[in-house]
Amino acid sequence: MFRASALAASWTLLIFAFMYFPVAVILIFSLNDSEIIAFPLQGLTLRWYESVVSDGRLGGGFATTLMVAFPAAILSTFLGALAALALTRYEMKMKLKLVFAILLLLPFLIPKLILAVAQLILLSELGVARNLVTVTLGQVIVILPFTTLVVASVLVRIDRRLEEAAVDLGASAWSVFRRVTLPLMRNGLVAAMFIAFVLSSSEVVLTTFLSGRAQPLSLLVASDFRFAISPALNALAVLIVTGNIALVLVGEAIRRRSERGTG
């Protein structure tokens, strides 16, 4: 028994090492006091972080990212909430519901490159210029399945009897939603918005094809990693990863709090 679990533990560690070692390497080099990204390490420094924070070009990219990520997060959460309400609250035939769910989640399965190229072709056929609006709308399509699932996961946990109790006490459908369903799903909406924000800010493929001249941070990082690699890039990567993890953790904490509240 003990042996088996020791074996299992080493195996698990090995897998985690495989998953996270590359990221760890980036973390290490972001603190390495050398222009050259190679071993042996030369000592500890924070200068790469300083250069990231003081870089105007990166700052502009970050601003562009926010200009896309905020509306994308809000729009995809709003639409995801509507879809989740339809999935969990509408009385539909099972088959119809299944078709609805599959159509909603299909963007998961279509390679983003294909989605991106398809949208690009459509936009140029329609003569629509690519800008922050087109990239935002394009991102919403791929983020929508996530926000739908996050909000739906909160909705299915809300005891249906709470809504029935509101009806029983005389509330109309709209009052039930406003006074019971919405307050109880609010944390799910916040969690979905955090996740949508992270997904939007780290989206590269769609952004590349749809953003036009604007250069959000993700594109700057992608192109710098190919053409202008420097330890500062490692520092930037660490900042982005940390920020994303923090956002998702906060979102998840909020969602869990809502579970305890309703359970």
Partner 1 sequence: MPDRPPLPLLRADALHKAYGSYHAVRGVDFRLMPESYVTLLGPSGCGKTTMLRMIGGFETVSSGRLELDGQSLLDIPAPRRPINTVFQSYALFPHLTVEENVGFGLAYRGRAGLGGDGRGLDRAAMRQKVATALSTVRMEQMAARRPRHLSGGQQQRVALARAIVNEPRILLLDEPLSALDRRMRRDMQIELKDLQRRLGMTFLHVTHDQEEAFALSDHIIVMNAGLIEQQGAPQEIYRRPDSAWVADFIGGSNVVPGRVLALDAGRARIGTAIGEVTAPARRGLAVDEAAALCIRPEQLSREAAAAPGAATVEAAVTHAVFAGSGWQVELRAAGGQPLSARLGEAPAPGETLRLAFDPARAWVTRGAAAGPRA
Interaction residues for partner 1, span 243-262 (CB under 8 A): 261-262
Backbone angles phi, psi at 56, to 5 degrees: -65, -35
Beta carbon of residue 157, minimum distance to partner 1 (angstroms, whole number): 12
Site string for partner 1, 186-225 (x = CB under 8 A): ----------------------------------------
CA Rg, the chain, in Å? 22
Of the candidates 172, 165, 181, 184, the residue with the CA atom closest to the CA atom of residue 255: 184
Decide if residue 90 touches partner 1 (CB under 8 A).
no
Question: For the window 115-154, what string marks contact with partner 1 as x by the rule CB under 8 A?
Answer: ----------------------------------------
Q: Which two tokens stand for residue 218?
A: 């993700």
Examine residue 91 and tell whether it contacts partner 1 (CB under 8 A): no
205 φ/ψ angles, rounded to the nearest 5 degrees: -60, -55
Contacting residue, 175, 246, 253, 257, with partner 1 by CB under 8 A: 175
Single-letter amino acid code for the residue at 105: L
Cis before 111? omega within 30: no
Our CA angle for 217, 220, 223, nearest 5°, is 150
Residue 162 near partner 1 by CB under 8 A: yes
**Residue 183 lies near partner 1 (rule: CB under 8 A):** yes
Part in contact with partner 1 (CB under 8 A); list of ranges 87-95, 96-104, 172-180, 209-217: 172-180
Residues sharing a CB contact under 8 Å with residue 250, sequence separation 6 or more, in sequence order: 194
The residues of the shown chain that bind partner 1, judged by CB under 8 A, are 159, 161-162, 164-172, 175, 179-180, 183-184, 261-262
